[in-house]
Amino acid sequence: MNLTRKLVRTAGNLEGNYVCEVGPGPGGITRAILEQNPKKLVVIEKDSRFLPTLELIAESTGGIMDIRIADVMKYQIEAEFPADVKREWIEEPPPVHVIGNLPFNVSTYLIIKWLRAMSLQEGPFAYGRTLLTLTFQKEVGERMLAPIFSRQRCRLSVMCQYLSDVKRKFIIPGRACVPSPDVDVAVMQFQPKVTPIISHHFDLVEKFCRHLFHYRNKYCIRGIETLFPDSLKKDFSHEILRFARVSPKLTAPDLTVEEIRDMCKIYEEQCLRVPSLFYYDYRQRKDFEEVQRNCPAEPPLMKQFSSNVEIFSERL
């Protein structure tokens, strides 16, 4: 119970606030949350076998706790709390917290989903810059924090760091968990940035980073080339590096978030210049003309929020 209380204290002051707990299981963290006297607690659990235990806990709360038997990957959290708790993005975070202790095979997929929601100010972030406190495999947490030149730096590092201030709060030894995993657990916290470092649509940034890190130990131009059909590969990949002022002999882990931002800017311009370019996928081995016939012309574009700041006033 001491570890669950420590995890909950890490989430900040919950008294009088709204809390969503994801993956409560038998309710260990749930009890620790309730000790902090939240105004409302909603728990989302996929496994109905935990329902009897959770119902016993809920019955003792006088209506403070609600249970949802649902898959959090599909659940709309933004419908759970009243509209008057919402805050403008540029204001202090809302009185809403998300806490989760998920199975490792789900947690990475979920944080990607929530990072996308963060960029679009949807889901838990429809209320404002909602704080996330989540558990991950220690190695995954290290990748989220990995700086440039680190062997662990990857696509996930960039996606976390451009949108949020991510911190590792503490490590839970695997032997302290029941059932005991073979690895240690990192408690990670995500505070959305008022202004993301990269202002382009999440889907475009994610695709660019996925290709960039495809050959993570080779020159970065190798990964960038996979974004384009053969007819454009050489010219467009060199154009990205030239205008972003990035050496083609750097590897993907050597690049800062700001350098990747600059490259995403050029890639978006190319996708606007060449219809359907964003939807080209070299793995499908489709003729590019076929892609252009069957896909939208424009890439996904970021809608403008009141907090957005245009990074570029003119082309680099």
For residue 52, give every residue at least 6 positions away whose Cβ sits within 8 Å of its Cβ, in sequence order, or none: none
- Checking if the pLDDT of 283 tops 70, the result is yes
What is the CATH code of the structural domain delimited by 202-294? Answer: 1.10.8.100
pLDDT band at 311 (very low <50, low <70, confident <90, very high): very low
- Checking if the pLDDT of 307 tops 50, the result is no
Which superfamily does 2-192 belong to?
A: Vaccinia Virus protein VP39 (3.40.50.150)
Binding residue numbers: 1, 23, 45, 71, 101
pLDDT band at 182 (very low <50, low <70, confident <90, very high): confident
Q: How many Cβ atoms from other residues are within 10 Å of residue 299's Cβ?
A: 20
CA–CA distance, 205 with 203 (Å, rounded to integer): 6
Closest residue by Cα to residue 20 from 2, 33, 3: 33
The pLDDT tens digits of the residues spanning 120-178 come to 999 999 999 999 999 999 999 999 999 999 999 999 999 999 999 999 999 998 666 65
The pLDDT tens digits of the residues spanning 223-258 come to 999 999 999 999 999 999 999 999 999 999 999 999
Q: Which three-class secondary structure state does DSSP give residue 148?
A: coil
CA–CA distance, 142 with 184 (Å, rounded to integer): 12
Contact 225, 196 (CB under 8 A): no
Question: Which string of DSSP letters, residue by residue, matches 55-109?
Answer: HHHHHTTTT-EEEEES-TTT--GGGSS-GGG---TTSSPPSEEEEE---HHHHHH
Mean pLDDT computed over 270-282: 97
Query: 69 or 179: which carries more pLDDT confidence?
Result: 69
Residue 315: predicted pLDDT: 31
CA–CA distance, 14 with 35 (Å, rounded to integer): 9
Residue 175: predicted pLDDT: 62
Binding residue numbers for S-adenosyl-L-methionine: 1, 23, 45, 71, 101
Residue 174: predicted pLDDT: 66
User: What pTM was computed for the model?
Assistant: 0.91
Q: Chain-wide mean pLDDT for the chain? A: 92
Residue 178: predicted pLDDT: 55
Q: How many Cβ atoms from other residues are within 10 Å of residue 115's Cβ?
A: 24
Residue 180: predicted pLDDT: 63
* 174-178, 274-278, 311-315: the lowest-pLDDT one: 311-315
Residue 306: predicted pLDDT: 45
Residue 177: predicted pLDDT: 61
- Checking if the pLDDT of 24 tops 90, the result is yes
Tokens of 181: 């995993």
Name the CA radius of gyration of the chain, rounded. Answer: 21
Query: What residue type is assigned to position 150 of the chain?
Result: S
- Checking if the pLDDT of 285 tops 60, the result is yes
Residue 314: predicted pLDDT: 32
Which residue ranges make up each domain of the chain? 2-192, 202-294
CA–CA distance, 261 with 4 (Å, rounded to integer): 38
Instruction: Kindly state the percentage of the chain with pLDDT values over 90.
Output: 86
Q: CA–CA distance from 44 to each of 71, 115, 130, 208, 255 (Å)?
A: 7, 19, 17, 33, 38
- Checking if the pLDDT of 305 tops 60, the result is no
Residue 93: predicted pLDDT: 97
